[in-house]
Structure 1
Amino acid sequence: MKKKPVIAIDGYSSTGKSSISKEIARRLGLVHIDTGALYRGITLFALRCALDQSGKIDCSMLEKHLPELELKFHLEHGELVLYLAKENITEPIRSQQVSENVSFIAKQSFVRDYLLEYQREMAKKGGVIMDGRDIGTTVLPEADYKFFLSASVQERSRRRHLELQSMGIDLPLEEVERNLTSRDAIDSSREASPLRQAPDAVLIDNTKLTKEETIEKILSFIS
């Protein structure tokens, strides 16, 4: 029996990586792994357990508490759901506070090292599509297929703004764009596994593409 493929999808925030990967996983019978959720989970943990007296995240405190972290995906109704201990954190990790701090957490080398083997272990048997920012370059450099999603910052801000509104968060579009631009800069310039396109990844700019068009384009490369 042919081993199911391993697919890596990287790219900028709000290019639809997770929702697109989830749909491709459904169509191909793969397991979707949202690695960004893992970093958001650690960010949520840090905001709850590792703040200094001024209310900022203390990285030394976070590193000290990481062994206590119970962050795991559980398969529910065919989808992986992220839990922090016994709490389903699907909604909390999408809060604006987490979004504003996740790039800071993700650039910490001790955090990336902590998650690296866990991510690789999940993909070892194949049959997964994993999305993030360093999947094709660092986590799964031997993936069968690699894609890199991009879009203009204006379009990504519009998408993120609509997503926040659907969650009842009314943040000015200009602030959403500032946040995305800041995350882009942090993700692309960090020392540990910066956001960049793998040399063998297919670049897809979906500024003017619908979600379905993006999915069909990706599927056209997968045999």
Structure 2
Amino acid sequence: MARSIAIDGPAGAGKSTIAKRVAKELGFIYVDTGAMYRALALYMIREGIASDDIDNVVSACKRADVTIKHENNEQVVYLNGDNVNGLIRTEEVGKMTSAISVNAAVREKLVGLQKKLAEVTDVVMDGRDIGAVVLPNADLKIYLTASSRVRAERRYKELVAKNVECNLEEIEKDIIDRDYRDMHRELSPLKQADDAVFFDSSDMTIDEVKDKIIELYKGV
């Protein structure tokens, strides 16, 4: 029987980084659900579809083929056959992702794929509603967060390292706005599952969080 760990939390909490390290140490497959939503968001942007144009968003979901493959121990996200790993981490795509993720057709398409992956292989999956919706029977559920300022500083450092012009205050405002949208959307809002373990990583190192999660998993 396949085993699973669900890691939920807001943008910039370090979910992906932690999930990758936990998966590598346990020999599980890492599934970045956010990357799948970002790939769909990129498709909407390329097609010039507004996030509130419901009919066209639904139609686009039928045309967009989002798949995940694991190549050289790395997750690669494909959009209609093209590797889009290097195109889905922009602020524009991030905002579109948050906006379209409230659409039932978008979530239905991707949640189905995520559930199928977890049925056949051991996975560590991160996102906004993994423990509550996608993997309600996960062996371990984690809710990982950090203060909005800490998350903004992390994102700011990432962008500066890539020579991208950015403003720390604007990044923090975007994070706070995104948190509000994610927590208050009608469909599958961001929330801590009742049986999830709460982690605030503001004052923890990546290895401290990773080691604690593995310790908890081995104790399940």
Using the size of structure 1 for normalisation, the TM-score is: 0.94
Q: CA deviation at 1:217?
A: 1.4
Q: Deviations over 1:91-142 (max 9, x none)?
A: 2100111112211111112211121211100000241000000000001100
Q: Among 213, 216, 219, which residue is 1:221 paired with?
A: 216
1:180-223 Cα distance to aligned partner (Å, 9 max, x none): 01110000000000000000000001000011111111112011
* Deviation string, structure 1 residues 29-88 (Cα, Å, up to 9, x no partner): 000000000111111000011426xxx663321211221112111120022210112321
Which residue number corresponds to residue 38 of structure 2? 40
Q: Is the 8 A contact 2:4 2:124 kept in 1?
A: yes
Q: 2:4 maps to what in 1?
A: 6
1:162 and 1:58 map into 2 onto residues whose CA distance is 34
1:124 aligns with 2:122: no
Amino acid at match of 1:26: K
Residue from 137, 144, 149 that aligns with 1:149 = 144
1:66 aligned residue (61, 68, 74): 61
RMSD between aligned alpha carbons?
1.3
Q: What is the letter of the counterpart of residue 122 of structure 2?
A: G
Contact 1:50–1:59 (CA<8 Å) still a contact in 2? no
> Which segments of 5 or more consecutive residues in structure 1 lack a partner in the other structure?
none
Unaligned runs of 5+ in 2: none
Q: Distance in 1 between matches of 2:57 and 2:162?
A: 28
Matched, 1:204 2:202: no
Distance 2:175 2:64 in 1: 28
Q: TM-score, normalised by structure 2?
A: 0.95
Between the aligned residues of both structures, percent identity stands at 38
Q: Which residue of 1 aligns with 2:73?
A: 78
- Name the structure 1 match of 2:135: 140
Contact 1:50 1:57 survives alignment (8 Å): no
Equivalent residues in 2 for 1:104-115, closer than 5 Å: 104-115=99-110
Q: Which residue of 2 aligns with 1:193?
A: 188
Please say if residues 31 and 79 of structure 1, whose CA atoms lie closer than 8 Å, have aligned partners that are also in contact: no
